[in-house]
Structure formats: C-alpha cells, structure tokens
Amino acid sequence: MKTNNFVHLLKEREKFGKQHHMFNIPEETGRFLYVIMQVKKPSVILEVGTSNGYSTLWFAYASPKAKIYTIEQDPQKIVLAKGNFKTMKNIHLFEGPANKILKKIKIKPDVVFLDATKNEYKSYLKVIEPHLKKDSLIIADNTISHAKKMRDYLIYVNKKYTSTTLKIGTGVTLSICSRQI
C-alpha cells in the first residue's frame, strides 16, 4: 500500500475509533511506534490487544516486511480488524483470550506490544518470555494512565529488564531483553 493511502487509512481509523469509543492508542503513540519500528527493523511483531487494528496498522505501516501477529478476543472488534486488514498479507489475527493463545503460538518476536487487559500484562509477558530473543523489545501501553492496575507488571519489568516509562500518550513503558531468557 502506498504511503498516502496508508496515512489516509490511519486517519480514517483514528476518527472511527474516537467516534465509536475504541480506546485506540493516541496518534502520538502511533507515531512513536512508527519511529521505534524504523530503528528496530523487526522481522516479527507480536501484539496483544488488537481492538479494531489501529495500532496494528501503525506497525504494518512502519514495518511492511515484518510478520505481525495480533490477538483479540472481542468478536465485534475482530470483525472491524479483519476489515482493516483485508489488503494486508503480513498481519495474522488470532481470535480468543490472549493467555490461551499465547500458550499455543510459538513465535520468537523481535517486538512485543501489550495493549489488552491491563492487570494481565505480567501474565502475558511470563508466557511470552521463553520465546524472547536477545534484544527483543517489549512495549507496554497505558502504563501511566493505568499505573495502579499495572503495578505488578511495572515492578517486574523494572527488576528483570532495562526499562523506562515515557510520557507519550497514556504512558509507554519500553523494556529490552538484554539476554536470551
């Protein structure tokens, strides 16, 4: 998809998300993810929490050659996401509860993006950890706006990984896996 078409699609999805209370990442966070993906150049991205696919589209825009695996359990959001992904050959959508799906898929992500049930981030990460590569990047959204619900996760990643929380959007915490788990 050409850049102008992609930017137009992102703007449409952003507007739709706001009108329908999709709680998508803010554009500011999308732009940040874009820059990070341009630097990281991942070949495999794992997203937990697709919603209608807005953040997934940012990943696809930034990393058109990467394989993107994304998980969503809400049937209405799945329908919307599938519509948004219909021309994307590199996006693979898994339907169902994240922890259940994470136990079944055996991918080795370069980047993990967590944007699902906030108090489950730590359990998602614990299931993903055996599959992390050295230098895998873990990005968690909403870590400032939902800090109380994510307390266990934040304590965990700050002890186990090199992590930092940035005041971008609703708070983004970056963690780097500095060794093979």
**Is residue 63 left, alpha or beta, with left meaning phi > 0 and alpha meaning psi from -120 to 50?**
beta
Would you state the pLDDT for residue 133? 92
Would you state the pLDDT for residue 3? 57
Fold (topology level) of 3-176: Rossmann fold (3.40.50)
Beta bridge partners of 105: none
Would you state the pLDDT for residue 19? 67
Q: pLDDT tens for the chain, 181 residues: list them.
A: 455 566 666 677 777 666 666 678 888 999 999 999 999 999 999 999 999 998 999 999 999 999 999 999 999 999 999 998 988 899 999 999 999 999 999 899 999 999 999 999 999 999 999 999 999 999 999 999 999 999 999 999 999 999 999 999 999 999 999 865 5
Would you state the pLDDT for residue 50? 95
**Is 72 in contact with 46 (CB distance < 8 Å)?**
no
> What is the rounded distance in angstroms from the CA atom of residue 105 to the CA atom of residue 3?
31
